[in-house]
Amino acid sequence: MIVSGLMTLALLTGGTTGPDLGAPVKYKLNLNLTQNIDTGDQQMASGITAVAFLALTMSDTTGGQIASIVIDSVRFDADGMLGASFTEPMISAAAGQSLRAYIVEGKVSGPAQWSDDENPVLATVGGAAVSALFIGLAPTRQVGDTWADTNNVAAETAPNGIGNNQVISWKVTEAKDGALVVDGTSTGSVSGSNQGGDFSGTIEGTIAVTTPAGGPSRSAKLTNSQKIEMLSPGAPNIIMIGVENAVSLEMLP
């Protein structure tokens, strides 16, 4: 299975602990992913559509905060090749599951802990949520600021064997009700090995977030597009893979 770099940037495993959590804030998450594979002889399309209702709680801890995200409910549909990786029992088991992450200056620091790290539905929904909620907006940012962040995930440590190198260019465009509106554009590359083949390709994306300094976001829209070439030993043609991913997150009243 090939998954979008937008999701894999936040797919972390491990553990962290913190004090008792405060009152939860409710969110709605929408995720749409399409994957197209062209082998030269045939084309295969598959996709994921998910709608999840989440509860986020934050608590202070040494040097930062603990974020706990609980999946209250989720509607998750996967078809084609992706459908085989997300079974009905996995989808049914996702409701009530959670992740905990250590947040420093609005960004995930170190590993996070899943209540069930064997369920790919949690990794997909939770990874998208973490990417949208915590973009790492420093407390000193103000309207007009521009800067760039570099994200590197080595192929050797990536969950799917595909590493990526991305540069995200940010700009704070306005202040709104105690939060900042931040736009980002990302470009980069992917490379690595998966399912017996070698991959290389490009990534580009957009991010639009309304968030207070340090997060969590009040709303977010993220898009990601990948164009990948796969060379598999013994295959007569280079396999072309296209992945389009869109995530939206909205705080509920």
What pLDDT, on a 0 to 100 scale, did the predictor assign at position 22? 65
CA 209, 213, 216, 222: dihedral to nearest 10 degrees?
20
Supply the pLDDT for residue 163.
86
Q: For 188-210, what is each residue's pLDDT tens digit?
A: 998 988 777 888 999 999 999 99
At 6 the pLDDT is 39
Region of poorest pLDDT, from 53-62, 63-72, 108-117, 242-251: 108-117
**Helix (H) or strand (E) run with residue 233 in it:** none
Q: Is pLDDT at 25 greater than 60 in this prediction? A: yes
For 93: left if phi > 0, alpha if psi spans -120 to 50, otherwise beta; the answer is alpha
Is 0.75 topped by the overall pTM? yes
Percent of the chain with pLDDT over 70: 91
Find where tokens 């905060």 sit.
Answer: 65
Examine the pLDDT at 12 and tell me if it is beyond 70: no
Q: Is the pLDDT of residue 223 over 70?
A: yes
The DSSP symbol for 110 reads S
Indicate the pLDDT class of residue 168, thresholds 50, 70 and 90.
very high
Give the H/E segment covering residue 31: strand 25-38
Q: What is the pLDDT of residues 63-110, one digit of tens each?
A: 999 999 999 999 999 999 999 899 999 999 999 999 999 999 888 988
CA 129 centroid distance within chain: 6
pLDDT, mean of residues 246-252: 98
Tokens at residue 51, please? 């709608």
Please provide the DSSP assignment of the chain as one string.
----HHHHTT---S----S-----EEEEEEEEEEEEEE-SS-EEEEEEEEEEEEEEEEEEETTEEEEEEEEEEEEEEEEHHHHTTS-HHHHHHHTT-EEEEEEETTEE-S--EES-TT-HHHHHHHHHHHHHH-----TT--TT-EEEEEEEE-TTTSTTSEEEEEEEEEEEEEEETTEEEEEEEEEEEEEEEETTEEEEEEEEEEEEEEE-TT---SEEEEEEEEEEEEE-TT-SSPEEEEEEEEEEEEE--
As a whole number, mean pLDDT of residues 202-231 equals 95
